[in-house]
Structures are given as C-alpha cells and as structure tokens.
Amino acid sequence: MISSLRQPGIVITGSDAGLRKRHATLVQPQSFLPSLVGGKSQRSVISMKKPLHIACAGVGNFGSVKNFEFESEKKSFEKGDLVKCEAYEADRSEVEGAETPSEAAKKVKIGIYFATWWALNVVFNIYNKKVLNAYPYPWLTSTLSLACGSLMMLISWATRIAEAPKTDLEFWKTLFPVAVAHTIGHVAATVSMSKVAVSFTHIIKSGEPAFSVLVSRFILGETFPVPVYLSLIPIIGGCALAAVTELNFNMIGFMGAMISNLAFVFRNIFSKKGMKGKSVSGMNYYACLSILSLAILTPFAIAVEGPAMWAAGYKTALAEIGPQFLWWVAAQSIFYHLYNQVSYMSLDEISPLTFSIGNTMKRISVIVSSIIIFHTPIQPVNALGAAIAVFGTFLYSQAKQ
C-alpha cells in the first residue's frame, strides 16, 4: 500500500512500512538522489515508489517525517523546487516484524487462557464425578454449581474486587436465550456424567465441532470449505466407534452428552452475538449468565428431584464419605465457575468455532486424567475411536485456518 502526506505546495509519497520507522536525525538535501532541479512551473515533490527503509526524510531544516511542519517561515526552498528521493527496498522481514510483538502477545494471552481453562476443567470433572458417585442428584449438583458462582461474583462486586457491570433491560433480554442454552447444556452434561464414565461423556462431547458446523450451516446459513465438512467424518466416526465399544454404555448418559453438545453450540453462538457492542466483559458476562441460569434452573430442579430426595441422599453420602463430602461439593462448585469464567474470557478473544476447537482439545486432558484417577476400564477399540475423533478435530482446526 502506498501512502501519501499532502500539504500546501508539497507532496510526500512513500510506503507505509518505510514511514513507520522514524528517527530524529536530519537528512540533508544533498543526501537525496538525484539532485535539486529548479523550475517555477512545477510543484515540490518527494516521491518514493517502492516500499522503502527510511531512517528519516527531511529537506533543509524540516526535521524528520514525524516533525514536518510546512509553515511559511520554515520553508528553505522555493515553491517550484523539485526533490525526488529513491531508496533501497525494505527487507520484508523488517516490515513483517513490525507487527510481530502485538500478535505474539495476543497468542500468548490466549494460550494462557486456554491452559488455565483446561486445568480448571480437569479438577472440576474429578470432583464433580466424586460428588455424583456418592450423591446421584445431577439437578441439585448443577444448581449448586451455578449458585456458588453467582454468590462469588456478587461478593466480588459488593467488595469492589471486580467492577460491577452496567446492564439494562435490553441486555438481559439478549442474555435470556444464552442462559436457556447454558442451563440445558449444563444439566444435560451433569446427567450424562451421573450415568456413565467421565471419559465416555467427554468422548461424545468431542463431537461438538460437528454440531457447530451443522448448526452454522443449516440454521445460520453459513458455508464452509469442503475440507471442513470432510474433517467431520473422522470426528463423527470416532465418537460412534467409542460409543458402540463402551463397556458401561447407558442411553441416558449418551443422550445427555449429545444434548449438551447441541445446547453449548447455541450458547457459544448466542454469547458471541450478545457480547458484540456490549460494555460487559467476558468475566462479568458469564457472571450475569450464571445468575440468570440459576433463576431458570432452580424451579425445575425442585420439580424433578425435590428437597425430600436431596435430604435423604445427603444423609447417605455423609454416612458413607464423611465430612469430606462437603469439601467435594464445594470444590466442584467453585471450580465449575472458575473454568467457565476463564473460558468466557477466552471467548472475548476468539470466534465460536475456535472456542469449540479449544473445548474439544481440552477433553483430551480430561479423558486421560479421568481414566487414570477413576481406573476406568477401556478397550483398545474404544481408545482407537477416541483417538480418531481427536484427530478429526485436529484436521478440522487445520481446515478452518
């Protein structure tokens, strides 16, 4: 791109890349090639037709490009003078390197978000499964997770640890469909993990990119390159292979994971749309989402399970596990909020599809850690299906670039 700086009686034309590098050192007129040519009929022109590597560009006492002033008392030559400047072409590596620090910093920031998100999610899944094994009430467990996160953020706002968001009625209307999708996805995933192994739930949930593409294509009308569609084949095939060879297959657990996939895709798409043009950051956005989801979920949790079942289950869990059970409940609730909060901070920086990719790659660490900690029996064919699904996700991420 060629950029121009025009002032009365003079035109300076040069490349963006060249003019970006500025120094205070003056360059005297005699350093330019060719030399001055006089003539009243022409305007003064300094022309650089190629991308240039310029330390500075100056005429007489004008100073550097940054400090050019074209006031009458500063002019040291006549209006008709012509000055042409040609310099060597800038090294492309220098031009590209000009934007490298900011791009690298952004990648590092997203990388830190992703690593923290994945680590917190592993801890949550471990404690969540421990709680569900001892206390098989997924609706209450889901409600407690949302209640804990909502309480944490309300305290943060009240103590000014975090700045409270400025919201209006329109914001909450936009947030409502996101909260519905989030509530469905959260409960469905918890129901799934209460019925099957954590590894199996996450193998099925690794098919989320397929849901994301299908929803974007048939509901939002977006189109994708052919390689993107082809990458869905190993994702879907790998999930299917892992499902049919699962030793502890349960239809409720399987359907819960599938429903969670679909709900979270809608949540991510609606979230990204809702966050555009809003002053609410990712952290506060998820806090508001938790509060609204808690309001939606609580009456349904009471209707499906109820206080009587919860009280009986609590006595049984406390008798079998002891006071440590309360720590498990607190830990799974806290880590659930933290990992989701970090994930929404990531969503501030990336697209919904990239978010789905990161969500899928996160499942590798969850699957491996849960198999090790819970000694989950797994067949070679089942492991092969999981590997194919993950490999398909890698192909998908490459095809999206």
DSSP SS3 for 250: coil
Residue 59 has pLDDT above 60, yes or no: no
Confidence (pLDDT) at 44: 46
Nearest to 200 by CA among 269, 135, 258: 258
| Rounded CA separation 171/280 (Å) | 9
Nearest to 225 by CA among 400, 79, 14: 400
User: Is residue 30 assigned to a domain?
Assistant: no
User: Is residue 74 assigned to a domain?
Assistant: no
Q: Which residues contact 150 (CB under 8 A, 6 or more apart)?
A: 287, 290, 291, 294
User: Is residue 59 assigned to a domain?
Assistant: no
Tally of residues, the chain: 401
Region 39-65 average pLDDT: 46
User: Is residue 42 assigned to a domain?
Assistant: no
- What's the Cα-to-Cα distance from 322 to each of 129, 137, 162, 315, 326, rounded to whole Å? 17, 18, 35, 10, 8
Residue 88 has pLDDT above 70, yes or no: no
Residue 332 has pLDDT above 50, yes or no: yes
Residue 181 has pLDDT above 70, yes or no: yes
Q: Which residues contact 190 (CB under 8 A, 6 or more apart)?
A: 128, 132, 138, 139, 141, 142, 256
Which of the two residues, 300 and 27, has the higher pLDDT score?
A: 300
Q: What mean pLDDT is reported for the chain?
A: 76
Confidence (pLDDT) at 154: 95
Residue 71 has pLDDT above 70, yes or no: no
Most confident stretch, 8-17, 74-83, 238-247: 238-247
Q: Which residues contact 361 (CB under 8 A, 6 or more apart)?
A: 118, 390, 393
Which of the two residues, 360 and 135, has the higher pLDDT score?
A: 135
User: Is residue 57 assigned to a domain?
Assistant: no
Region 324-338 average pLDDT: 94
| Rounded CA separation 394/338 (Å) | 26
Nearest to 191 by CA among 255, 99, 267, 125: 255
Determine the structural domain holding residue 378 and report its residue range.
107-400
Claim: this prediction has a pTM higher than 0.75: no
| Rounded CA separation 268/352 (Å) | 6
Give the number of domains in the chain. 1
User: Is residue 367 assigned to a domain?
Assistant: yes
Nearest to 330 by CA among 197, 141, 186, 162: 141
User: Is residue 45 assigned to a domain?
Assistant: no
User: Is residue 294 assigned to a domain?
Assistant: yes
- What's the Cα-to-Cα distance from 141 to each of 288, 320, 379, rounded to whole Å? 19, 18, 30
